């Protein structure tokens, strides 16, 4: 399970943020010209009834990381784009597009609560009348959470949402064995209903700056003293210590390849790859997709197992199509099945030990051996 989690590094998130923001701005400019655009990081509501008259509390969740990254690229943004502008500035500049940026959408509650309590009624009125168009950018999102957001925030539609990694169903929930393990170790920590994490999503995504609470409890919840349970989670209280940073720089999926193929029924193929893991360093994703497709798995299920974004998965599938292993109807070709069969054949040769007679030299130190 640890090998199959998707570990998102600082660098990967920054790269996505720069590319997605620029891509959307280019699309807006191409369609509407250089109209005014406002960008906001999605943050948890921090103004409540009990503190509305107190000093404004700054966000301490992952929105702080997104806000910092956006601030970093603000200097290089076009002049018609403004980061977190005030209402008066938006009114004067006649903002036509509002972009909300988030790293992760789980249940969708955070974005909805942020929209409901932190967005000005004036802005909501502009959006409902069609004067402004709302966009949502997210690195990773569960499909159920996106559906909730679109349903609750009416100015937002699915075609105005751009996500790098969409999770239809966590691979944790696809396996009965994994569900059993998560319940066994998670239920004593927070109860059976909470064992799969907030919202029951069993999310497989962990960021280098923090673990979402939608990830199963056994990975991050530290038990209270009252529970009298001895448990040391990998990400205690959702923090990520520097001693686990190497997880975010490794390709752990390559090590999980034999097990995935074994579970899918490719037993000989899995054993052979296990013996020669280094030979498949560059082709492990191709072999896994090809092997799972050959066993009848749907593309959506395979993408969930691999925890890949649409663009990443499409790139792998395109290589298989270009190589003739998968046809245009997304079915494994005869050549593809032949490749799997050949890879499953063991390359090891049996070593035959032959009994040899004793060897006697004909001479030693210049002296000839007598007959």
Residue-wise pLDDT for 48-70, tens only, equals 444 444 444 444 555 678 888 88
pLDDT at 355 > cutoff 90: no
As a three-state string, the secondary structure of 2-52 is CCCCEEECHHHHHHHHHHHHHHHHHHHHHHHCCCCEEEEECCCCCCCCCCC
Pull the structure tokens for residue 51: 């503190």
Coil, helix or strand at residue 104: strand
pLDDT digits (tens, 9 = 90+) for 285-336: 888 888 889 888 888 888 888 888 888 888 989 999 998 999 999 999 999 8
DSSP per-residue string spanning 199-264: GG----EEETTB--TTS-GGGTPPPPGGGT-----SSGGG---GGGGGGGGS-HHHHHHHHHHHHH
Does residue 342 surpass a pLDDT of 80? yes
What confidence score (pLDDT) does residue 214 get? 95
Question: pLDDT: is 117 or 273 the higher one?
Answer: 117
pLDDT of residue 69: 86
Tell which wins on pLDDT, 370 or 237.
237
Can you name the residues that pair with 161 across neighbouring β-strands?
136
The pLDDT score that the predictor gives to residue 74 is 82
What value does the mean pLDDT take over residues 172-178? 89
**What pLDDT score was predicted for residue 348?**
56
pLDDT at 144 over 60: yes
**Band of residue 33 on the pLDDT scale cut at 50, 70, 90:** very high
Rounded to an integer, the average pLDDT of 125-131 is: 92
| Number of other CB atoms surrounding residue 81 within 10 Å | 20
* Percentage of residues in the chain having pLDDT higher than 90: 48
Give pLDDT, residue 359.
64
Residue 235: pLDDT above 70?
Answer: yes
C-alpha span between 248 and 264 (Å, rounded): 27
Domain coordinates of the chain in residue numbers?
Answer: 6-167, 171-249, 253-344
CA pair distance 179, 123, nearest whole angstrom: 43
Per DSSP, the residues of 124-183 read: HHHHHTTSSEEEEEEEEEEHHHHHHHHHHSTT--GGGEEEEEEESS-HHHH-HHHHHHHH
| The predicted structure's pLDDT at residue 54 | 45
Separation of CA 366 from chain center: 74
Residues with Cβ within 8 Å of 180's Cβ and at least 6 positions away in sequence, in order, are none
Asked if pLDDT for residue 195 goes beyond 90, the answer is yes
Strand bridging mode 97-105 / 37-41: parallel
Residue 339 makes CB contacts below 8 A (sequence gap 6+) with: 290, 325
Confidence of residue 77 (pLDDT cuts 50, 70, 90): confident
8 Å CB contact between 293 and 264:
no
The band of 226, judged by pLDDT with boundaries at 50, 70 and 90, is low
Question: What does the pLDDT read at residue 49?
Answer: 40
Q: What is the mean pLDDT of the chain?
A: 84
pLDDT at 280 over 70: no
Q: Does the structural domain 6-167 have CATH classification 3.40.50?
A: yes
Q: Are 199 and 107 in contact (CB under 8 A)?
A: yes
For the cut 50, the answer to whether the pLDDT of residue 210 exceeds it is: yes
CA distance 131 to 347: 66
* Greater pLDDT, 12 or 282: 12
**For position 352, what pLDDT does the model report?**
55
Nearest to 170 by CA among 192, 199, 194, 150: 199
C-alpha angle 16/203/4, rounded to 5°? 80
Residue 142 has pLDDT above 70, yes or no: yes
Are 178 and 172 contacting, i.e. CB atoms less than 8 angstroms apart?
yes
173 compared with 46, residue with greater pLDDT: 173
Dihedral through CA 122, CA 127, CA 130, CA 132, nearest 10? Answer: 90
Rounded to an integer, the average pLDDT of 26-53 is 76
What confidence tier does 227 reach under pLDDT thresholds 50, 70, 90?
A: low
Could you tell me what percent of the chain has a pLDDT over 70? 83
Reported as a single tens digit per residue, the pLDDT across 111-122 is 999 999 889 999
Give the residue, 203 or 174, on which the prediction is more confident.
203
Calculated CA dihedral for residues 123, 124, 129, 135, nearest 10 degrees: 80
Pick 23 or 255 by higher pLDDT.
23
Top pLDDT among 326 and 43 is at 326
């Amino acid at each position: 399970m640890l090998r199959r989690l998707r570990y998102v590094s600082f660098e990967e998130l920054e790269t996505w943020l720069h590319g997605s923001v620029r891509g959307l701005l280019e699309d807006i400019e191409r369609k509407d010209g250089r109209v005014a655009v406002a960008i906001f990081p999605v943050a948890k509501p921090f103004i409540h009834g009990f503190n509305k008259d107190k000093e404004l509390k700054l966000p301490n969740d992952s929105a702080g990381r997104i806000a910092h990254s956006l601030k970093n690229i603000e200097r290089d943004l076009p002049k018609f784009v403004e980061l977190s502008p005030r209402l008066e500035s938006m009114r004067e500049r006649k903002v036509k597009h509002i972009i909300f940026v988030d790293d992760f959408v789980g249940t969708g509650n955070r974005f909805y609560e942020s929209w409901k309590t932190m967005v000005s009624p004036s802005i909501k009125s502009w959006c409902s009348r069609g004067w402004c168009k709302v966009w949502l950018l997210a690195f990773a999102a569960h499909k159920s959470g996106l559906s909730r957001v679109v349903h609750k925030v009416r100015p937002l539609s699915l075609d105005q949402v751009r996500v790098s990694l969409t999770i239809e169903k966590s691979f944790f929930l696809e396996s009965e064995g994994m569900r059993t393990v998560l319940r066994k170790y998670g239920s004593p920590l927070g109860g059976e209903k909470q064992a799969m994490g907030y919202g029951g999503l069993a999310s497989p995504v962990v960021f280098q700056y923090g673990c979402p609470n939608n990830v199963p409890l056994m990975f991050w919840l530290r038990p209270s003293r009252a529970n009298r349970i001895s448990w040391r989670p990998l990400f205690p209280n959702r923090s990520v210590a520097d001693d686990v940073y190497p997880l975010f720089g490794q390709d752990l999926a390559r090590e999980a390849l034999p097990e995935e193929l074994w579970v899918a029924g490719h037993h000989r193929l899995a054993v052979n790859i296990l013996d020669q893991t280094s030979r498949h360093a560059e082709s492990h994703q191709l072999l896994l997709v090809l092997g799972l497709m050959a066993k009848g798995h749907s593309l959506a299920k395979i993408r969930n197992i691999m925890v890949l974004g649409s663009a990443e998965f499409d790139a792998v599938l395109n290589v298989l199509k270009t190589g003739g292993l998968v046809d245009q109807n997304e079915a494994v070709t005869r050549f593809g099945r032949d490749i799997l069969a050949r890879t499953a054949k063991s390359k090891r040769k049996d070593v035959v030990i032959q009994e040899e007679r004793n060897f006697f030299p004909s001479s030693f130190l210049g002296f000839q051996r007598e007959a």
